[in-house]
Structure 1
Amino acid sequence: MQKPSSPEPIRRPAHDTSVQYGSRERDALRAAQLYYLQDLKMEVIARELGTSRSTVSRLLTQARRTGMVSISISPSADMSAQLSSRLAERFGINVQVVPTDGSMDDAQLLGRVAAHAAHQLGAMVSSSMTVGVAWGSTMQAVSTALGSHPTHDTVIVQLNGAANPVTSGVRYASEILTRFGEAFTARTEQFPVPAFFDRATTRRAMWQETSVKRVLKVQSEMNLAVFSLGAAGSEVASQVYRGGYLSKQETAQLAKIGVVGDVATVFFDANGHSSGIGINARSTGPALDDLRRVPQRFCVVAGRGKIEAVRGALKGGLITDLVIDEGAALALLDG
């Protein structure tokens, strides 16, 4: 059968870098050019490439996933855009409200919010940056949703230790860090210390060790900190509360003294203050005063169970950029 005639091939400009790709990558780039730049239908692209419509769909997905295609959306006057504007005006920060279905549970919300946050990070992280990343349920979800955004001379540094009396926590935190590093082709710096020392004196002594001081120095150079907020009341319980990091007595004591949340295992009250909370002297996360000195502090929150933590963090000036689901945003405005 004679192959149907195809549209006249589009000449690539001299600076086109597609010759650097393998055949599959070249096809993905070609499909993306025809679909997004030439506005051709998938059936036409399939004839152009001599393949099927379903293969074209997979090539376009690959082009988006690997960073060949960057999609930006100009929000219209929908509810999410309005909520974003109102929250930004009230709290003086950058806010992205993620459209969500009211029937979703917290686990589903987490997936939706994490995907949106991962997309935002793709535009925020650039070459020669130092990015601090906390660990936790939300950060794990964000790390798995990251696409490919190559940079150079970028460093991803772990914000707090992950070991506890039950597990070393190294693999869990390392996987999150590794995904961030791979997404941004960045060097990673792990922080091989416990989440909490048994004694504050041990922490003070460890902070004088050369290997620990080296990581602390990298943290001090952060341009961007990426984290969520721990909260005991969330339906998807924060890792710090369900992973063996706190005893029942410690959890009860935190509630008794009015703790509403934590950033990288440093706890704070309803006003975003961390002073007078004894466990913070044993925590390996950055002091909140140090965190406030980071130019961009990108917080990702899913679910209404973290609203009190969000309010406290906002009052304490811990957040400059917030990604939050629609339902939680409404609850935040109602408070």
Structure 2
Amino acid sequence: MTDAMQEARFPQELMYAAASQYYLEDATQADIAQRLGVSRATVSRLLTEARRQGIVEIRVHRPATLEEGPLAAQVADALRIQRVYLVPKVSGPALGPWLAPGLARALAAVGLEAGDVVLVSSGSTVYECAREGLGRFPGVTIAPAVGGQEEPQPWFQTNETTRILAERLGGVPSYLYAPALPGPELFNSLQHEPSVRRVMDLWAHAKCAIVGVGSAPLMRQVVPAFVPREATSLRQAVGDVCSRFYDRNGDPVEYPGSERLVATGLEELRRIPASIAIAVGGEKITSIIAAAKGGYFNQLVTDTPTAESLLATART
């Protein structure tokens, strides 16, 4: 007999008895098994099925101590942005599970409705957050803010991030079938390709953007293949948003071929009502501050240590 068949035959009285003893009387699964005359494995399945059928409802309340307080307001004021959403110190190789709750709060405050456009950039942080629970916004349009890249990692493929995020939010994906930096002939052709033009037109009407903030290109171990690291101009770049590089003052940094970049322009980012940057880590401090100076985002999701460093650096 399979577990599913066995669970389907559990009497509700038995599930209720196991659940009430476990959750209300703090009985152990071993105690419950002895009282009910079943195995501990059966008790575990009873509790699982009780949750599945709604006999047990578990609610997780966010402690008031974790809500945005003075530090978030101080960082927002120092960066001259609308709001900062803080999460506890990020640890471990995966950033998504830590940062996603902050991004979820930011998205909930935007007031997204069916038909609104949400842009997403490339990058591992945005990709990881897209895979987490961020709330449901049925009918919103999710579109890439930058074309695809040659690297094999999925976070360089904005269509993949778009697909995942649309699925998680209950939105409608709009894919961009164009490389981030096409050759001159292909670039000219793409300007007249209806499917590409349709996504480009969405950039000007976006209500929200979710973007990562890259560190200085010459300091990274991995940069997109289309970025010419030998370009002299990139020595002045301290970071990028949507593969658009900028210097310490937030001014754009061009490089050979950048005029053909298929990505949301920095001016377009400035016009988006809710441009949410997700960034964490000491190596991002300078790039975050410079991007804020340029006006490339107006909301920030980060962790407490990064916020403290941002505040200290901005004040000096």
Counterpart of 1:244 in structure 2 is: 225
**Equivalent residue letter for 1:309:** S
1:96 aligns with 2:82: no
Counterpart of 2:296 in structure 1 is: 318
Q: What are the superposed Cα offsets for residues 74-123 of structure 1, whole Å, 9 maximum, x if unpaired?
A: 64399x7332121122223200122216xx46x35x24543334432552
Counterpart of 1:302 in structure 2 is: 280
For 2:170, which of 176, 182, 185 is the aligned residue? 185
**Equivalent residue letter for 2:123:** G
**Which structure would you say has the larger Rg?**
2
Tell me the TM-score normalised to structure 2 length. Answer: 0.73
Contact 1:299/1:319 (8 A) holds in 2: yes
Residues 1-335 of structure 1 mapped to structure 2, 5 A cutoff: 41=24, 52=43, 56=47, 73=62, 75-76=64-65, 81-90=69-78, 91-100=80-89, 104=91, 107=93, 110-120=95-105, 123-124=108-109, 126-128=112-114, 129-147=116-134, 149-164=135-150, 172-199=157-184, 202-232=186-216, 241-250=222-231, 253-256=232-235, 258-274=236-252, 276-335=254-313
Offset at 1:328?
1.5
Residue ranges of structure 2 left out of the alignment (5+ in a row): 1-7, 37-41
Contact 1:117/1:142 (8 A) holds in 2: no
Contact 1:93/1:319 (8 A) holds in 2: no
**Equivalent residue letter for 2:141:** V
Give the distance between the partners of 1:223 and 1:70, measured in 2 at CA: 31
Offset at 1:283?
1.3
Percent identity over the alignment is: 20
Tell me the TM-score normalised to structure 1 length. Answer: 0.69
**Equivalent residue letter for 1:211:** S
Aligned length: 281
Q: What are the superposed Cα offsets for residues 273-307 of structure 1, whole Å, 9 maximum, x if unpaired?
A: 21655543121111111111110001100211111
**Equivalent residue letter for 2:24:** K
Q: What are the superposed Cα offsets for residues 31-70 of structure 1, whole Å, 9 maximum, x if unpaired?
A: 9xx99xxxx73859x99xx98478647976999xxxx988
Indicate how the Cα distance of structure 1 residues 175 and 43 shifts in structure 2: closer, same or farther if over 3 A, else same: farther
Give the distance between the partners of 1:326 and 1:62, measured in 2 at CA: 38
Indicate how the Cα distance of structure 1 residues 170 and 99 shifts in structure 2: closer, same or farther if over 3 A, else same: closer
Indicate how the Cα distance of structure 1 residues 84 and 155 shifts in structure 2: closer, same or farther if over 3 A, else same: same
Matched residue SS, 1:145 = coil
**Equivalent residue letter for 1:81:** G
Give the distance between the partners of 1:214 and 1:285, measured in 2 at CA: 13
Give the distance between the partners of 2:51 and 2:76, measured in 1 at CA: 34
Q: CA RMSD for the aligned pairs?
A: 3.9
Contact 2:250/2:291 (8 A) holds in 1: yes
Give the distance between the partners of 1:62 and 1:296, measured in 2 at CA: 39
